[in-house]
Structure 1
Amino acid sequence: MGKEKVHALEIGLPVPNIEDLSEETRKYWKICLEKLGMVPNVIKAYSFDDTHLRGFTTLYNTLMLGPSGLSKLEREMIAVVVSSINHCYYCLVAHGAAVRDLSGRPELGESLVFNYRYADLDERERTMVIFSEKLTRAPYDMVEADRQSLRDAGFSDRDIWDIANVAGFFNMSNRVASAVHLMPNPEYHTAARGKPED
């Protein structure tokens, strides 16, 4: 793993070999390798400390993979829209790939990365990303009408809680990733883009 570029800080670098990790972190890396075929660089970055890694992954897995009225795709869409507003390179590359994969529509991932207003979204999705944009740009301006717009689009109050938490998580993650110049794994760039037509 030697000179692999993960982030710009000296902490946690060079990236350790899996054999050098604690048993708990080694198990998590093995799960990533089995499910994803790689260890995401964000996991490598947090692996310098078991407590930090556990805190990050517990929250991420709860919000992005846990039970919710939001689909996995909807949660990834929020991640991309928030990351687009914040210009977070790592999250746009990684979660743009997830949107492409989950939707089967490479153009959806690209439109959300660049400007969600160009995306082919239904009313529910559009209302969700508009709410996420406002929460990212002007959280102090959130009012009951914003929450009601989500209810009118079919979201429950529990769903609204989940939308707010996913958007909040990525606002935090974007800032950390940008602060430390976190680099996406090369595999994300080519994932789920489809085959070029003959």
Structure 2
Amino acid sequence: MTQPPISRFPVAAREELPADLAERFDVVEEKSGFLPNIFAALAWRPDEALAFFAMHDSVMNKETPGLSKADRELIVVATSAGNDCLYCVVAHGAVARIRAKDPYIADQVAVDWRKAPLSPRMHAVLAVATRLAAEPAAVTPDDLASLTAHGLTQDDVWDVGMITSFFALSNRLAHFAALVPNPEFYSMGRTAPEA
């Protein structure tokens, strides 16, 4: 089977990238063993790519008492599934499996987060996140209060909104560009960790 192009738009040659973006690519590739297609697909617009990755890092690469890195990835998986975004479900599903140390959780959340074996806190988080992703005007103060009732701080509640909103942008870009997930993502984190 022939792999389709990774994007409908131009893909910049690696040697043509600005130094800061090329350095970022090297770091990501060294850490993961491959370059996720989103990097190559966005690189033809370097300033936007750098801003996109900076925003990604600011909302995803932190842990707070209310939201772990695994929780953040599960927000992406649930909302991206609701937005029918194959790229983000596959890519962030891989990261969620690794961060949660659970080979099944991302698939369960993507198919039906309501039935996934999650804590009541995470069910509340995903209820609000998926509502924001699908019906943003329907989110109420009671929804936000449900999150604080489950122990999320005001900063955590904001992060739920920021992650959901940022990945709404990402989902739409992935659809618009017809981004193709890297084959490597499909097998990542599929083996249960040793006890």
Structure 1 runs (4+) deviating above 6 angstroms are none
- 1:115 matched to 2:95? The reply is no
Once the two structures are TM-superposed, the CA of residue 190 in structure 1 deviates from its matched residue by 0.9
Q: What is the rounded CA distance, in whole Å, between the counterparts of 1:66 and 1:107 in structure 2?
A: 23
- 1:124 matched to 2:121? The reply is yes
Give ranges in structure 2 of 5+ residues lacking alignment.
Answer: none
TM-score (norm 2): 0.92
Corresponding residue for residue 166 of structure 2: 169
Identity of aligned residues (%): 29
Corresponding residue for residue 18 of structure 2: 22
Corresponding residue for residue 60 of structure 1: 56
Once the two structures are TM-superposed, the CA of residue 20 in structure 1 deviates from its matched residue by 2.8
1:148 to 142, 145, 149: 145
Once the two structures are TM-superposed, the CA of residue 49 in structure 1 deviates from its matched residue by 2.3
Q: What is the rounded CA distance, in whole Å, between the counterparts of 1:38 and 1:84 in structure 2?
A: 24
Where in structure 2 are the equivalents of 1:1-198 lying within 5 Å? 5-9=5-9, 12-13=10-11, 15-16=12-13, 18-66=14-62, 68-69=64-65, 70-194=67-191
Tell me how many residue pairs correspond in the alignment. 189
TM-score (norm 1): 0.90
Letter in 2 for 1:176: L
Letter in 2 for 1:74: D
Q: What is the rounded CA distance, in whole Å, between the counterparts of 2:159 and 2:38 in structure 1?
A: 22
Letter in 1 for 2:180: M
Mapped contact 1:41–1:183 kept (Cα < 8 A)? yes
Deviations 1:34-83 (A, max 9, x none): 11111111111111122011110110010111454421001101000000
Letter in 2 for 1:153: H
Once the two structures are TM-superposed, the CA of residue 137 in structure 1 deviates from its matched residue by 1.4
Q: RMSD between aligned alpha carbons?
A: 1.5
Letter in 2 for 1:37: G
Deviations 1:65-124 (A, max 9, x none): 145442100110100000010010100100111111111211111101111112101111
Mapped contact 1:97–1:192 kept (Cα < 8 A)? yes
Q: What is the rounded CA distance, in whole Å, between the counterparts of 1:46 and 1:23 in structure 2?
A: 15
